[in-house]
Amino acid sequence: MKKRGFAVVAAAVAALASGAAVLAATVTVAPGHMDGWAVDNDTCGAATTGSVAFVNGPGTPPAGSGSVQLTVGANGDSYPTVRQSDYNGVKLSALTAFDYSTYVSHAGSGGQAAYIDLYIDNNKDGVRDDILTFEPVYQTSQGAVVPNTWQHWDALHGLWWSDSMGGPPPLFTLSSYVAAQPDASIVNVGGGGVILAAGCGGAAWTNFAGNADKLTIGVGGTDTTYDFEAAAANAGGPTSKGQCKNGGWRNFTDPRFKNQGQCVAFVNHHDGKGNDDAQHGGQGHEQGKGHKK
């Protein structure tokens, strides 16, 4: 239901190190707080008529109150995407979770929903060798795409197709692809190797409009859930150490933190009145000196 033909430039970046601990974190993704995601309103043919927006709703999203909206427009070859760059070099065999939810407000003639593309390097040379695509329309065992409702899709155990095989079809599981290509790894191209997308399929995608939310990627048992929102949460800083743990430090926008320890340090030193002791030389407030009574 989708065709290729767009040109992109490959870029090799250092691989993401994956840990073995079973952990889970939810990261808010919103304008000004993209956390590795980038918008790329591409096309597979004529000039794009697509768009990408971070919106409230529709309905009751599976995480938070918003989602990312992908609109194709009159040119069904438009390819509106959001791309994640943090998984460059991660082997497909290391994936332990991969699922997301979609909402379709206008399906076009193909009965489509927002899909996932993975850019793949099969021989560890940092160059894209393949594109793997998970489309909800082919997941008959998980149910049909239903308009105007949120639906969950298990991509890790679902059916994919390959650009290098000329698909679709054939359809296959990620595990069977790994059996044939044991070195298969995600590679960053044009902004990222993990892609939420719509369009790039001609008339079947004309005037499609849909949303995606709560994308979870697990690597070696460590799960990260991306919650797409119209606005970043937690501006103003954390008020407890618990808000910094399990990846919570990544959700703060004002101030931003580089790691959990920096977030915890903010809580330890903040006096709760909008003043940080670090701004006063670590000695607390001076009394009766330079302050109005």
List, as one string, the DSSP characters of the chain. ---------B---PPPP---S-EEEEEEEBTTB-TTEEEEEEESSSSP--EEEEEE-SSS-SSTTEEEEEE--S-TTEEEEEEE-TTTT-BGGGEEEEEEEEEEEE-TTTT---EEEEEEESSSSSS--EEEEE-GGG-GGG----TTS-EEEESSSS-BEETTTT-SS--B-HHHHHHH-TT-EE--BTT-SEEEE---SGGGGTT-EEEEEEEEEEETTEEEEEEE-SS-S-TT--SSGGGGTTTGGGG--SS--SSHHHHHHHHHHB-SSS-BGGGGTTS-PPSSSS---
Q: pLDDT for 166-188, tens place per residue?
A: 999 999 999 999 999 999 999 99
Q: Would you say residue 197 has pLDDT above 80?
A: yes
User: Worst-scoring range by mean pLDDT, 105-114, 127-136, 165-174, 248-257?
Assistant: 248-257
Domains and CATH numbers, the chain: 23-228 (2.60.120), 241-274 (no CATH)
Mean pLDDT, to the nearest integer, of 78-86? 98
Q: Would you say residue 74 has pLDDT above 80?
A: yes
- pTM of the entire predicted model: 0.77
Mean pLDDT, to the nearest integer, of 20-24? 59
Q: pLDDT for 200-238, tens place per residue?
A: 999 999 999 999 999 999 999 999 999 999 987 665 678
